[in-house]
């Protein structure tokens, strides 16, 4: 067991449910990824950073080039580093924090007392017609979610998706779902703190980098995914990197893959574990630091559950800067520099992937 020790921090307790950690900035949406994915033959790989026909270096700069990988190939399996959150930091078993940062992904043990069932129940019902006016599990496909800049969207692959900002969870979701997502939010920000400290992100820069405090990031939302088994001949969700700092993922079936050393590798579904992904904002920020983190390119393959099983479901908690903020990067001398506006970066990324930037932003 290897411990990464940081300043004193309280890990998520078994019964922790905290309300009122609402983000106070103006809310923006990540762009929907509407790139067209071929249904046969070779699926174009987004070069390890989410940009087709362009390569991005570890510090976020674009350069020419492209690559292709076969979506039909049987992927190799990869054992992600596995950690748990303790009062002393992140404790890794049979691996190291350095390996986790290099991969851009790792497993995180789910604390005792955190029940994922309300989240999966919502995933399996949010697209269904509402039963009555009090039904918060269903009816989200038709709901306009007027206070959200995100909401429901059909994706071009198997997935249909609902995204809601954390300050609106209590308004649109049932109490058990809100309590679960709040617990995941606390866990996510605690993990992000420890990762920042591991990468030597200075504490006095946190508010500038994240737009919030040591307990928040400027933009936090959940993404709920229903993978439609009736849609065939396409990926579950197209390959991409997340744009923010960190994403915490819960899934009920296999199918999640990451690109590692140019090869798609299947991630085994571990009972009682979240998957943690690092995103573009983290990679850009830490590129020149002693322990940089990589934004992991990932996808979900076409899912075909058995007749007895429900369609695949997953839900996440995402944390990142707001779109009216700047991205930052430590230069080789250790000074913190403005890198690019997050909006400009996101528009450039959208253009590279072939979709329109979100109209509400």
Over its length of 361 residues, how does the chain's per-residue pLDDT go in tens digits? 443 333 333 333 333 322 222 232 222 233 333 333 322 222 223 333 333 323 344 444 433 333 333 344 556 789 999 999 998 889 998 889 999 999 999 999 999 999 999 999 999 999 999 999 999 999 999 999 999 998 998 888 888 999 999 999 999 999 999 999 999 999 999 999 999 999 999 999 999 999 987 777 789 999 999 999 888 888 888 899 999 999 999 999 999 999 999 999 999 999 899 999 999 999 999 999 999 999 999 999 998 877 788 999 999 999 999 999 999 999 999 999 999 999 999 989 888 877 667 666 6
Q: Residue 61 is part of which domain span? A: 40-353
**Per-residue pLDDT, 193:** 95
Q: Is residue 183 part of a domain?
A: yes
Q: Is residue 223 part of a domain?
A: yes
The domain tally of the chain equals: 1
Q: Is residue 34 part of a domain?
A: no
Q: Is residue 131 part of a domain?
A: yes
The rounded distance, in Å, linking the Cα atoms of 225 and 271 is 19
**Per-residue pLDDT, 76:** 77
- The model carries a pTM of 0.80
140 within 8 A of 19, measured Cβ to Cβ: no
**Per-residue pLDDT, 127:** 95
**Per-residue pLDDT, 75:** 62
Task: Please give the full DSSP string across 303-350, using - where no structure is assigned.
Answer: P---TTSPPPEEEEEEEE--TTSEEEEE-TTS-EEEEEEHHHHHHHHH
**Per-residue pLDDT, 128:** 95
* Nearest alpha carbon to residue 281 among 225, 190, 239, 219: 219
Q: Is residue 20 part of a domain?
A: no
Q: Is residue 338 part of a domain?
A: yes
Eight-class DSSP state of 184 = H
Q: Is residue 4 part of a domain?
A: no
188 within 8 A of 317, measured Cβ to Cβ: yes
In the numeric block, which tokens belong to residue 235?
């990926």
**Per-residue pLDDT, 238:** 87
**Per-residue pLDDT, 87:** 87
**Per-residue pLDDT, 88:** 86
**Can you give the CATH number for the domain in which 127 is found?**
2.60.120.330
Q: Is residue 28 part of a domain?
A: no
């Amino acid at each position: 067991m290897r411990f990464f020790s940081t300043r004193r921090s309280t890990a998520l307790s078994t019964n922790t449910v905290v309300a009122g950690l609402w983000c106070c900035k103006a809310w923006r949406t990540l762009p929907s990824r509407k790139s067209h994915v071929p249904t046969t033959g070779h699926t174009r790989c987004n070069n390890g950073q989410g940009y087709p026909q362009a390569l991005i270096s570890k510090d976020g700069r674009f350069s020419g080039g492209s690559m292709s990988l076969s979506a039909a190939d049987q992927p190799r399996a990869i054992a992600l580093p596995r950690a748990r959150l303790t009062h002393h930091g992140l404790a890794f078993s049979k691996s190291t924090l350095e390996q986790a940062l290099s991969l851009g992904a790792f497993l995180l043990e789910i604390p005792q007392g955190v029940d994922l069932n309300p989240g999966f129940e919502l995933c399996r019902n949010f697209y269904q017609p509402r039963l009555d006016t009090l039904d918060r599990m269903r009816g989200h496909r038709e709901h306009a979610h007027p206070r959200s800049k995100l909401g429901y969207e059909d994706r071009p692959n198997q997935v249909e998706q609902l995204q809601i900002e954390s300050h609106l969870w209590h308004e649109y979701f049932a109490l058990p779902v809100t309590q679960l997502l709040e617990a995941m939010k606390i866990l996510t920000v605690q993990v992000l703190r420890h990762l920042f400290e591991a990468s030597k992100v200075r504490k006095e820069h946190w508010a500038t980098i994240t737009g919030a405090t040591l307990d928040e990031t400027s933009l936090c939302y959940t993404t709920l995914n229903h993978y439609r088994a009736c849609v065939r001949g396409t990926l579950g969700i197209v390959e991409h990197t997340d744009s923010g700092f960190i994403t915490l993922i819960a899934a009920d079936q296999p199918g999640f893959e990451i690109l590692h050393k140019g090869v798609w590798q299947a991630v085994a579904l571990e009972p009682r574990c979240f998957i943690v992904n690092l995103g573009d904002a983290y990679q850009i920020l830490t590129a020149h630091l002693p322990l940089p983190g990589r934004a992991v390119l990932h996808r979900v393959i076409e899912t075909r559950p058995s007749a007895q099983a429900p369609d695949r479901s997953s839900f996440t908690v995402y944390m990142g800067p707001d779109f009216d903020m700047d991205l930052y990067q430590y230069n080789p001398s250790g000074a913190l520099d403005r890198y690019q506006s997050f909006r400009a970066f996101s528009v450039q990324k959208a253009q590279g992937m072939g979709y329109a930037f979100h109209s509400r932003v």
